[in-house]
Structure 1
Amino acid sequence: MKLLISPQGTVHCVYSEAIDLATLGRLAISRGSYVEPNTDGQWLVDLSPVQGPQLGPFAQRSAALESEMDWLEQHWLPPDTGP
């Protein structure tokens, strides 16, 4: 799980239950995307909640979820400026 902490102390991440995020302070959780099947049983990723594109279709939901995570980490989270 990638946590990005601003100089002001704000933490940004793609939600996961890998750690208890509440230990970091008050949470503000918002939807980053929708992963839904289409009429053909394939999976689409709709990233419009973060002004992103639609990805897919994917034959498997797991592939759609992986693509969703990759896009959010590359485009939605602030860039990683660490070593």
Structure 2
Amino acid sequence: MQLLITPEGQVRCIYAEAIDLAALGPLHISRGSFVEPNATGQWIVNLSPVQGPRLGPFTKRSAALQSEVDWLDQHWLSPSP
């Protein structure tokens, strides 16, 4: 589980239960994306909650979920230069 700690002391991560996040302080959990099927049954990743793009379509939900995690890891959890 990757944690990004900002200079302001905020911690960002893709939620998982690998550690007890409440041990870090008060939590604010928000959605980072939506992974939903389109009208033809393909999967779309909508990263607008973190000002990201739409990805897809994907034929398999698992591929969409992996793409979601990859994008968040690379763009949302990477420290700014």
TM superposition score normalised by structure 2: 0.87
Q: CA deviation at 1:75?
A: 0.6
Give TM-score, length-normalised by structure 1. Answer: 0.85
Aligned to 2:67: 67
Identical counterparts, % of pairs: 70
CA gap 1:8/1:51 in 2 versus in 1, 3 angstroms: closer
* Structure 1 stretches of at least 4 aligned residues deviating more than 4 Å after TM superposition: none
SS in 2 for 1:79: coil
SS at match of 2:45: strand
Matches within 5 A, 1:1-83: 1-79=1-79
Query: Which whole-Å CA distance do the structure 2 matches of 1:12 and 1:78 have between them?
Result: 10
Pairs aligned (count): 81
Structure 1 alignment gaps of length 5 or more: none
Q: Deviations over 1:13-63 (max 9, x none)?
A: 111122221111110111110000011111000001111100001111111
> How well do the aligned residues superpose, as a CA RMSD in angstroms?
1.7
